[in-house]
Amino acid sequence: MASQESIIASQEPKITSQEPKMISQEPKTTSQEPKMISQEPKTTSQEPKMISQESKLASQEPTVTSQEPTVTSQEPKMISQGSKSASQEPNTSSQEPVTTTSSNPSSKYSNRVVLKTILEPSDRWKEFVDERVVVGGWVKTSKEVNKEPAVPEPQQQATEAPNVSPGHKDVRCVEIFQSRIPIFRSIAKIFGGGGSSHPVREKPEPAIPEPPRPSVAYLLVSDGSSVASLQVVVDSSIAPLSQLLPIGTCILVEGVLKEPSMQGKHSIELKVEQILHIGKVEQDRYPLSKKRLPLEALRDCSHFRPRTTTVASVTRISSALTFATQTFFHDKGFLYVQVPIITTTDGEGFSEKFQVTTVLGKDGKQNDTGGVSLEVVKAAVIQKSNLVEELKRSESNREALASAIQDLRKTNQLASQLEAKEKLKSGPSMKADKPSFYGDFFSQQTYLTVSGLLHLESYACAMGNVFSFGPRFRADRKESAKRISEMWMVEVQMAFSQLEDAMNCADEYFKFLCKWILKNCSEDMKFVSKRIDKSSSYRLESMISSSIEKISYMEALKKVAVKFELNQEWGIALTPEHLSYLAEDVYRKPVIIYNYPKELKPFYVRLNDDGKTAAAFDMVVPKAGTIITGSQSEERIDILNKTIEELRLPREQYEWYLDLRRHGTVEHSGFSLGFDLMVLFTTGLPDVRDVIPFPRSRGKANN
């Protein structure tokens, strides 16, 4: 017996230390004879040892052993610890997933992996299975799923009891006694309750709050880089799921990419191991939800609508068209030129312009005449001068005197403006060198540009072929689905070229844009074809394959007159409805209409030899209408001077423009493409306000 106790005692440190290798390496400390004896119970004692450890874990953490998902979710945590050590040691091999994903240009300045790298093309996700990544984005939809309930502890003891001998050393007497306490209490009630008249009052046991049931959150996260979203799985043991579930929450997480355990529409998902950032959402004020909102409603919250799939796809298509524009003209040898937004020149001669001024009244309105006659203003000047003199004599109220003097000064400014306008009206032409506003920022009237073609001509006449890309402004009060106050234009000018050259360049450029979108935005176009316009991709393909139709203004007028019962009178303007009929119903492809009446085109367009038509054209495409307008500019100074006089344009505004004809004139032509209309044509959306990030229309400039 003593030898067995010594053997058992010698085995106890082996059980606690759990390092059999270290003990086996030191055979000199024990004798060889008991060594063979101690090896026999050694093998048998290890089996209950493992079972007893499981029972301890089961008694301490009943949810761990019974819930398989929790065990599997803890596995990546060991990997994440390895990644932390790997981050401290850059030369370790655990950083390989980061170097694999670093090939994406978007992740160059961050350790975040862009979702497009994983999700596009649709079968690329196979390369990233079991890779550790950091992803970030905004929650689009969320769902919380409770795990399976834990197996009760008595049931676990019942199932494990046959495998554990009652007299095993690992089962302590205290544990056995604690497990039998409910039985002893029930026996005491039976025997003690009958012999006493007063029932024994037991102390109430303190109520133990039930721990929250473990659950898993399934988040659909998008970072705006692709149509597809990534399913992100977060266990409740990692973070409070209530912070992650609201739609619009921004998260930055680290985890391992895995194939989903259950087959569904997601090919890959991210098992989160660490939460790096949570951007919370005020749910009662956040405008977006799971329900699809109409585009009209999204215009009132233009700062949030890029988070919707539709607006995000439109934005990516718009970005691709921008890059395609730069690529096309760069490959063709064009130079990019920035033209001014603030200008003193009316680019068309008769357009509605936004005037730029810093002279504002107390109410924020511009100190313009507002229809007040010069006589009324002069009378007001006399009246306010008398009031100032009275206040000076009384010397009773200095504040009133200062206010009256300031009011008189503004009235004098208004009178000066009216006198200047009267002089300009009485003269043969307007003089732009006269200041329009006394004390204004600029010394003469300035506007937001409606077109940059005139300024672009000066660079074309020096450097050959040039183009520009920027915003253009029109103060047009008419509401239109294809025209608002601020729109972006691509403008082109080519030296040593004529009208036919401009038409050919416009045709080639338009088809290049269509090809680019089909090739580089295939996933977005699939979404557009599914949600917005089923014929969008087919329409782009037909534009590429079809040859453009070129007809004169008179031919177009004849075809339109039959349909709309119009008189074939020279000079009738073709409406957008007429042009859409030609492109969609008559020819069913792009149509170029050229040689318009000179009265319908700007003053700078070259006059044809017939003296009636101007060398201008419009390109009309199905769905979008007129998308490109172009012309050959008038290079002959005598004809250009005559046109300016006939239209009574302010000659002083165009002296610099006439200098291009005086000094080294050259034939040149160009065109302008409505960039927002091109996006409209590509996506099939009906209103241009839905393709412009922050639309500006009459009465609406919210942010």
Extents of the domains making up the chain? 105-145+213-291, 313-355+441-690
For residues 264-291, average pLDDT: 92
| pLDDT interval class at 393 (50, 70, 90) | low
Q: Determine the average pLDDT of the residues in 337-347.
A: 92
Report which of residues 546 and 52 the model is more confident about: 546
Q: Which residue has the higher pLDDT, 319 or 168?
A: 319
User: Distance between CA atoms of 121 and 519, rounded to whole angstroms?
Assistant: 13
Identical fold at 105-145+213-291 and 313-355+441-690?
no
> pLDDT at residue 50 above 50?
no
pLDDT at 434 over 60: no
CB 137 within 8 A of CB 250: yes
Question: Residues 301-319: what's their mean pLDDT?
Answer: 95
Compute the distance between CA of residue 472 and CA of residue 483 in angstroms, rounded to an integer. 11
Closest to 480 in 3D by CA, of 335, 687, 694:
687
Does the pLDDT of residue 295 top 70, yes or no? yes
**What one-character-per-residue DSSP string does 360-380 give?**
B-TTS-B---TT--HHHHHHH
Residue 190 confidence (pLDDT): 54
Residue 414 pLDDT: 76
Edge-to-edge strand list for the sheet holding 613-621: 335-336, 465-473, 486-495, 668-674, 625-632, 613-621, 591-597, 549-552
Region 335-345: mean pLDDT is: 95
pLDDT on residue 17: 40
If you average pLDDT over residues 90-107, what whole number do you get? 41
Q: Element (H or E) spanning 630, and its range?
A: strand 625-632
pLDDT for res 700: 81
Higher local confidence (pLDDT), 203 or 512: 512
Mean pLDDT of 16-37: 40
Is the pLDDT at 87 greater than 50, yes or no?
no
**How high is the pLDDT of residue 106?**
46
Q: How much is the pLDDT for 430?
A: 43
What DSSP state is assigned to residue 107? G
Q: What is the residue type of 221?
A: V
Is 394 buried (19+), middle (13-18) or exposed (0-12) by CB count in 10 A? exposed
Out of 287-296, 551-560, 572-581, 681-690, least confident range: 287-296
Query: How confident is the model over 199-209, as a mean pLDDT?
Result: 59
pLDDT at 432: 42
Q: Is the pLDDT assigned to residue 412 strictly greater than 70?
A: yes
φ, ψ (nearest 5 deg) of residue 445: -65, 130
Residue 597 CB partners (closer than 8 Å, separation 6+): 553, 570, 571, 612, 613, 614
The residue among 251 and 121 whose pLDDT is bigger is 251
Long-range contacts of 144-148 (CB under 8 A, 24+ apart): 144/215, 144/216, 144/217, 144/218, 144/241, 144/245, 145/215, 145/216, 145/217, 145/218, 146/213, 146/214, 146/215, 147/67, 147/69, 147/70, 147/213, 147/214, 147/215, 147/216, 148/66, 148/67, 148/69
Confidence (pLDDT) at 514: 97
Q: Name the pLDDT band for 387 (thresholds 50, 70, 90).
A: confident
How many other CB atoms sit within 10 Å of the CB of residue 228?
Answer: 20
For residue 91, pLDDT beyond 70: no
Percentage of the chain modeled with pLDDT above 70: 69
Rounded Cα–Cα distance for residues 450 and 176 (Å)? 91
Are 147 and 67 spatial neighbours (Cβ–Cβ below 8 Å)?
A: yes
Element holding 327 (H helix, E strand): helix 309-331
13-24 in b/e burial notation, b at 16+ Cβ within 10 A? ebbeeeeeeeee
CATH number of 313-355+441-690: 3.30.930.10
Which pLDDT band, with edges at 50, 70 and 90, does 569 fall under? confident
Q: What pLDDT is recorded for position 697?
A: 85
Which tokens in the block code for residue 106?
A: 């978007």
Rounded to whole angstroms, the Cα distance separating 302 from 314 reads 13
Count of beta carbons in the 10 Å neighbourhood of residue 348: 17
Task: Tell how strand 613-621 and strand 250-258 pair up.
Answer: unpaired
- pLDDT tens across 500-526, in order? 999 999 999 999 999 999 999 999 999
Higher pLDDT, 458 or 416: 458
Question: Is the predicted pLDDT of residue 96 greater than 80, yes or no?
Answer: no
User: What secondary structure letter does DSSP report for 268?
Assistant: -
Please give the pLDDT value at position 71.
34
CB–CB of 321/512 below 8 Å?
A: no
pLDDT at 239: 92
Give the pLDDT confidence score for residue 389 in this predicted structure.
72
- Are 584 and 610 in contact by the 8 Å Cβ rule? The answer is no
Select the more confidently predicted residue: 180 or 43: 180
Strand extents, DSSP E, 338-482: 342-343, 355-356, 446-448, 465-473
CATH fold of the domain at 105-145+213-291: OB fold (Dihydrolipoamide Acetyltransferase, E2P) (2.40.50)
Model confidence at 292, in pLDDT bands (50, 70, 90)? confident
Lowest mean pLDDT among 133-147, 204-218, 392-406, 658-672: 392-406
Strand ranges inside 96-247, DSSP E:
132-146, 215-222, 230-235
Burial classification of residue 615, based on how many CB atoms lie within 10 Å of its CB (0-12 exposed, 13-18 middle, 19 or more buried): buried
Model confidence band, residue 410 (pLDDT cutoffs 50, 70, 90): confident
pLDDT, one tens digit per residue, over 222-268 is 999 999 999 999 999 999 999 999 999 999 999 999 998 777 788 89
Mean pLDDT of the 648-663 span: 93
Comparing CA positions, the residue from 218, 305, 295 lying closest to residue 261 is: 218
The tokens 């990516």 sit on which residue?
A: 316
Tokens of 14: 């082996």
Q: What is the mean pLDDT of the chain?
A: 78
Burial 453-468 (b: 16+ CB within 10 A, else e): bbbbbbbbbeebbbbb
For 607-621, what is each residue's pLDDT tens digit?
Answer: 999 999 999 999 999
pLDDT of residue 90: 39
State the pLDDT confidence band at 29, using cuts at 50, 70 and 90: very low
Query: Mean pLDDT, to the nearest integer, of 305-316?
Result: 96
